[in-house]
Amino acid sequence: MDETRVIETIRKESVLIDRAGLISLYGAVLRLAGLGVGGVLYQAGRHAGIRGAQLLRERLGLQGEELLEAARLAFEAAGWGQARWHREGASLSIEVMGSILADGLRPQRKPICHPLAGYIAGFLEIAFQHPVRVREVACAAVEGSICQFVAELEK
């Protein structure tokens, strides 16, 4: 897999937005709509993840594990944080250090990285060719320095 081609492919289909502007926008959405908007943000992230995975699959021919690695590269190159995957039996644990959302909106009472959970789910759905549900089980905006997500294949 050519890392440069992966990053170039994603960047051609992306827009650059100021970090502080994104954090301000997301913070305003959370304040106005509350955490009840989490499902909408999850689905928006999921659609973006599906689109990103399809883009890499169609343009670069990536599948399976290569597609997962490309997702990590694209995620990090876009500045969303540093991601690490860990398989745990039938589930996948994803740790994100330096989450742009969590780091910019501390402190919070509940996990807030709904778009990231959705994005991960969408990417995994294409890589695994099966519906996936991702839950954020720890959020750096609440405490700690890592956001942790658990992905499980839907039945």
pLDDT of residue 25: 76
pLDDT of residue 150: 97
pLDDT of residue 38: 86
pLDDT of residue 18: 72
pLDDT of residue 110: 93
Distance between CA atoms of residues 8 and 36, nearest Å: 35
Burial class (CB in 10 A: 0-12, 13-18, 19+), 64: exposed
Give the pLDDT means over successive 10-residue stretches in the chain (155 positions): 87 75 77 77 93 94 92 88 88 94 93 95 94 96 97 88
Distance between CA atoms of residues 12 and 15, nearest Å: 8
Distance between CA atoms of residues 113 and 154, nearest Å: 20
